Amino acid sequence: MVSFAKALHEADKEIIIFAGGPQASVFRTDFPDYLSFAVIGEGEITTVKLLQKALDGEIIRQTVQAELPDLEKLESVFLTGQADNQLRRTDSVLWEMTRGCPYTCAFCFESRGNRKVRNFPLERIKKKFFYLLKFDINRIFVLDPTFNLDLKRAKEILTFLIENSPQHIHFTFEIRAELIDAELASLLARLNCSVQIGLQSSDPAVLKNINRSFDKDLFTQKIGLLSKEGVAFGLDVIIGLPGDTLKSFRSTIDFAVSLQPSNIDCFVLSLLPGTELNERQEELKLVTDQSIMRNLVSSPTFSEEDIKTAKELAEAMNLFYTKGEADMWIHCILETLNISACNLFSLFSKWMRQTGRSEEEDIWILQDDFVTSLFEKTSNNKLIPAIRSFMELHQGLCYVRDCGEPVTLELSYTPEDLSLLDKMSLSEFAKTRKIKRCNPTIDSDYDGSVIIR
């Protein structure tokens, strides 16, 4: 974008070029000659005013902190109909219900500037939702940094959505685990939704370095409320936070998998302009690459080689666990082989390289072949029919949920018997249950629930 802006300015210096967003904070000290102005913060009001000045011939050439708009008066592209044509061409929407974040996470844009939390009025939110129902919307991503910051408000919004949402619309929320209570978990369970939670690290000392606190027992307890209600949730993890090591990163992954999230999103730390960590880069001796994302290359506690190892581990986890939707059965493998999740992902990565298999292949076939090979190498051949059937059952459930099409399975045990593996060890199961080959069909009912025949 910088190269484009420079070229555009050279082609026609009369064109007004301006920049915005947190990253524009780099222009506070070094304002480029190709820009007319830059705006930091919520730019709806300030950008319009500066554009008018520029069009009137006034020379601005500076970075301006935006004035905060009144959310009750701010015009909505939804309610004015300006978004109609866009919505006719998409099935997903990004929706902002709140602005601001009270937390001060050192890696995040949200912690900078005015952190005052301001809410869009509930009546306006309801009007927007009924407007969206006029279009073929299937997915709504709620952009609030912490949707459950105000528990009472979050519950009121969820209750409204439960009462008025068609079953096919899926919502995604970002929430804080520590703020979850039983009622919120129950409401989330009644809505077609998933939630994403920022874990980042399970090491309290590492999190303290980025202005976060962490109580592992409390976090586990709160996540348990979601699991009890069957709410789909994912966790975010960052590689290379100040003070983080390969060992503590591996511990974080093992802890995350133990909570059985539906997905684990893992990223290398980015020192984005406008964040505290970017400003403290020299002090913390954080080395980054030259990309626009400024990804971490190394730190005093996380070498370049360790970063590479962590990234390979994250890639294997993403393929085997997240893409492979392994959250409901991976515990059987870990307990049976007495290995950690990180060791399993490392073995999977090594197996992929040695066998020449490709991540473009069907992930469920890759999982079946890898697990079969692993159990054969560890002399657990007798357990293969049970673990393969358990995997196959959950893969079938995921297929029907994701695609809405029926599927017939080939199992060595009945679904009723296989359900015992949620609480019974694989070896005990194989000793006490006889093989009963069957071909159940999994389908979805009229209300979206899954049925097995």
Q: What whole-number distance in Å separates Cα of residue 358 and Cα of residue 365?
A: 11
The amino acid occupying position 169 is I
In angstroms, rounded to a whole number, what is the distance separating the alpha carbons of residues 448 and 328?
20
Residue with token string 């093989």: 435
State phi, psi for 91 to the nearest 5 degrees.
-120, 10
Structure tokens that stand for 447 in this block:
């209300």
Per-residue pLDDT of the chain (453 residues; tens, 9 = 90+): 889 999 999 999 999 999 998 778 888 888 999 999 999 989 999 999 999 999 999 999 999 999 999 999 999 999 999 999 999 999 999 999 999 899 999 999 876 666 789 999 999 999 999 999 999 899 999 999 999 999 999 999 999 999 999 989 999 999 999 999 999 999 999 999 999 999 999 999 999 999 999 999 999 999 999 999 999 999 999 999 999 999 999 999 999 999 999 999 999 999 988 789 998 999 999 999 988 789 999 999 999 999 999 999 999 999 999 999 999 999 999 999 999 999 999 999 999 999 999 999 999 999 999 999 999 999 999 999 999 999 999 999 999 988 889 999 999 999 999 999 999 999 999 999 999 999 999 998 766 678 898
Domain boundaries, the chain: 2-65, 84-318, 341-452
User: In residues, how long is the chain?
Assistant: 453
Neighbours of 283 (CB within 10 A): 9
Name the DSSP letter for residue 66: P
Closest CA to 65 of 87, 86, 47, 79: 47
Question: Which CATH topology does 84-318 take?
Answer: pyruvate-formate lyase- activating enzyme (3.80.30)
What letter represents residue 329's amino acid?
Answer: W
What is the per-residue DSSP string for 235-299?
A: EEEEE--TT--HHHHHHHHHHHHHT--SEEEEEE-B--TTSHHHHTHHHHT-EE-SSTT-BEEE-
Dihedral over Cα of 326, 328, 329, 331: its sign: positive
92, β-bridge pairs: 139
